[in-house]
Structure 1
Amino acid sequence: MDCQYTDLSKMIDHSLLNPTLTVQDLESGIELAKAFDVASVCIMPYYLKQCAEALADTTVKASTTIGFPHGGHTTAVKQAEAKQAIADGCQELDMVVNISKTLSGDWDYVRRDIKAVIDVAHDAGQKVKVIFENCYLDDAQKIRLCEICTELDADWVKTSTGYGTGGATHEDLKLMREHAGEQVQVKAAGGVRDLDGLLAVRELGVTRCGASRTKDILDEARRRLKLDPISATASGASSY
């Protein structure tokens, strides 16, 4: 592989969003993310503060979701969620667009909704990933969202929540990379389950990938790079 370990580990947002995860699971997942030196832990909002505290002495960022998973919260609620997340130590906010308004073509509303969260985050010096949930959209809608996110200086455009009917596809990633501004990064979520999948989306210009199989992906990366494995104790009992 023509890359370093951290080129791959720092692509991964370790996902701890499954509602059935226990507190013990969340704590083990945070330790796994620290051991593998990923980009961030994207965790359920109620446990964000503890997550941020646990990551304080690391290069792994604390992240959480806004308007998750369907995007139908009012803009005021999304703003309140963003403010609370930042108060709890969030460095990257993954917000869901209002899918209903997107499908309805109410682009002024969609723009205001996204801007409200971006403004809160950027005023605090933090970053936003805007989730489209592409499985429900046509290409014209995806392109318009890319244009809006570029106008608003979103930090990432993101394919999916991982809880819709489909995840990231190569076709969508190519479209998003083509139509988002150069300063807007692209995040793949849903469907990248192994190292080859991660390498493939990297070739398409993806800089972040939401993953629940972090341990499997990065164990294989270390094996191919001939690096020592990370012990099961250091990385937690399992991947999420």
Structure 2
Amino acid sequence: MKLSVAQLAAMIDHTLLKPFITNQDLQKLCDEAKEYHFKTVAINNAAIPFCREALKSSGVLCDAAVSFPLGQSTLETKVFETIDAIEKGAREVDYVVNLVEIKNQNWTYVEDEMQRIVAVCDKRQVISKVIFETCYLTDEEKRRLCQVALKVKPTFIKTSTGFGTKGATLEDVRLMKSCVGDAISIKASGGIRSMEDALAMIEAGAGRIGTSSGVAIVDQYRLHQAEAASK
């Protein structure tokens, strides 16, 4: 894996999505993101104004979680939430697909939802990520969802919220990569807690890592690189 420490850090969305956090926790998240030069802080939308101010002039972006974690908001609500998050300072948006409509095989709805949310992001020059929540999908449903994404062209497709029964797996990242190739980037998230986990996901095809263990991952990688250089 020929990545510098800085390159690895810039692939990480530093995540804090727990429901019982304080502003002190958010400040710590932002301070770490600035110190380590992570790509974003991934947060619930109510935290965006606080984090936007804490990250001012740092280059670290706010990444909003839309219809999180179930994806069961109405389409109109998801669109409004996306616009509201962007207006409050989000520069990236991760939204959860409507899993019920996938199970209903209502692919017209799924495509329309994706099209409308991605269009909102594209119009405002904001990165869009579609969360599949792969633990609840069959491989065929994952492939079909990839086909929809290839039509709509979000910036990323993403494995998981981290709140499902399972997070990212190498098999799912490889499957998604095999479907979309280089046309759409892939974000792996959920259960990625070590340097080895992160590097394996990147090797499998992920271009972004969502994790609450970013500090530990980068520290492990920095030590690993230093040890390798001293040999």
Asked if TM exceeds 0.5, the reply is yes
Runs of 4+ more than 3 Å apart: none
Shift in alpha-carbon separation, 1:186–1:89, aligned structure 2, 3 A = same
Map 1:1-240; keep pairs closer than 5 Å.
Answer: 2-226=2-226
Q: Shift in Å at residue 222 of structure 1? A: 1.6
- Structure 1: any 5+ residue segments left out of the alignment? 228-240
Q: Under a length normalisation based on structure 2, what TM-score does the superposition of the two structures give?
A: 0.95
Per the normalisation by structure 1, the TM-score is: 0.91
Separation in 1 of the partners of 2:164 and 2:11?
22
In 2, Cα distance between equivalents of 1:129 and 1:150:
13
| Higher RCO, 1 vs 2 (CA within 8 Å, ≥6 residues apart) | 1
1:169, 1:3 → 2: CA distance?
A: 21
**C-alpha separation between the residues in 2 aligned to 1:207 and 1:109?**
28
Give how far 1:192 is off: 1.2
User: What is the alpha-carbon distance in structure 2 between the residues aligned to residue 219 and residue 117 of structure 1?
Assistant: 36
Q: Distance in 2 between matches of 1:66 and 1:89?
A: 14
C-alpha RMSD over aligned residues: 1.3
Report if aligned partners of 1:150, 1:181 keep a CA contact under 8 Å in 2: no
For residue 54 of structure 2, what is the amino acid of its counterpart?
A
Percent identity of paired positions between Structure 1 and Structure 2: 37
Q: Deviations over 1:36-80 (max 9, x none)?
A: 111110111101022122223122111111111110100000010
User: 1:120-162 CA deviation, whole Å, 9 max, x = no partner?
Assistant: 1110011111000010000111011111111111100000000
Unaligned stretches of 5+ in structure 2?
none
Match for 1:176: what amino acid? M
Secondary structure of the residue aligned to 1:188 is strand
Counterpart amino acid of residue 143 in structure 2: I
Q: Which amino acid aligns with 2:120?
A: V
Preserved contact between residue 64 and residue 90 of structure 1 (Cα < 8 Å): yes
